[in-house]
Amino acid sequence: MSAAAKIRSTIESTGKTRKVTSALEMVAASKLNKTQQRMAASRPYADKMLSVIGHLAQSNSEYRHPFLDARPPQRVGYIVISTDRGLCGGLNTNLFKETLKSMQAWQAQSVEVDVCVLGQKALSFFKRHQFNVLAQAAHLGDVPELSDVVGVVSTLLKAYDSGSVDRIFLASNVHVNTMTQKPRMLQLVPLLPAQLDQAPDHWDYIYEPDAKVVMDTLLNRYIECEVYQGMIENIACEQAARMMAMKNATDNAGDIIDSLRLAYNKVRQASITQELSEIVAGAEAV
């Protein structure tokens, strides 16, 4: 009987776990919609910004902004965006794996790596792996403010301006659809020519008040906006990944309960059969 009781208690506890995971799944599903909308709403701004900067890079300005010119890398900076909480499948793990691979490629060329992190998971990961964490921000919630991002970004931009960092990358997840999220390494600074569409003609803008002021404002804002967009997108990824992970967990719990119930019934039947045969044998003996 004790075997049957043990199985029964396992069924009960698995059932409770299933309740929790299905509740988490529903919470994630309801948040997902909102975060996806937020992501879609802020995307046009980033796209337009990039196209303006594309024009800017082709124009033949007398002032060449440092963000547009590459210099040989001696030290590179990464901005890594992760979630604050776990229980979202392999979202963070995949991103970190990809980021580490890209960092190790730099380290193999004896280029040093600095990291700025957004999100608790990235913070503890890169601290554990003894990376040089320049700036950090975590627990920014579901609706981060642009001002939360600015501090982290400006640390790296200042390092770039002073020449101590020669490349800045953004590592974050891209929301392909609800089922798939992909880690992405984006080179933020200097801007890659591939990011900008090329045109052959020679022309330039009229700048008001002057080229330096306008370009500084625009490029700084672009970087901030790109990182902010990455954060918003990462939140949508988090909810989508959590929803899928919790859905799988709920389904798996159901499967486990089914197989346990089968095992329980077999044990119960076996014990009844045994008792019956014992009674019959006892009756025959009398």
Rounded Cα–Cα distance for residues 131 and 146 (Å) = 26
**Stretch touching another protein by CB under 8 A, among 25-33, 39-47, 71-79, 85-93:** 39-47
**Stretch touching another protein by CB under 8 A, among 4-12, 132-140, 209-217, 271-279:** 209-217
From candidates 12, 142, 204, 255, binder to another protein by CB under 8 A:
204
203 contributes a contact to another protein by CB under 8 A: yes
Contacts of 76 (CB under 8 A, 6+ apart): 106, 111, 112, 113, 114, 165, 166, 167, 168, 169
Rule CB under 8 A: which of 95-154 touch another protein? 146
59 contributes a contact to another protein by CB under 8 A: yes
**Stretch touching another protein by CB under 8 A, among 88-96, 136-144, 203-211, 241-249:** 203-211
Q: Which residues of 75-102 are buried (b: 16+ CB within 10 A; e: fewer)?
A: bbbbbbbbbbeeebbebbeebbebbbeb
From candidates 5, 20, 23, 41, binder to another protein by CB under 8 A:
41
228 contributes a contact to another protein by CB under 8 A: yes
**Stretch touching another protein by CB under 8 A, among 49-57, 120-128, 163-171, 259-267:** 49-57
- Which H or E run contains 226? helix 211-285
**For residue 103, which of 114, 92, 93 has the smallest C-alpha distance?**
114
Which residues lie near another protein (CB under 8 A)?
41-42, 44-45, 48-49, 51-52, 55-56, 59, 146, 203-209, 213-214, 217-218, 221, 225, 228
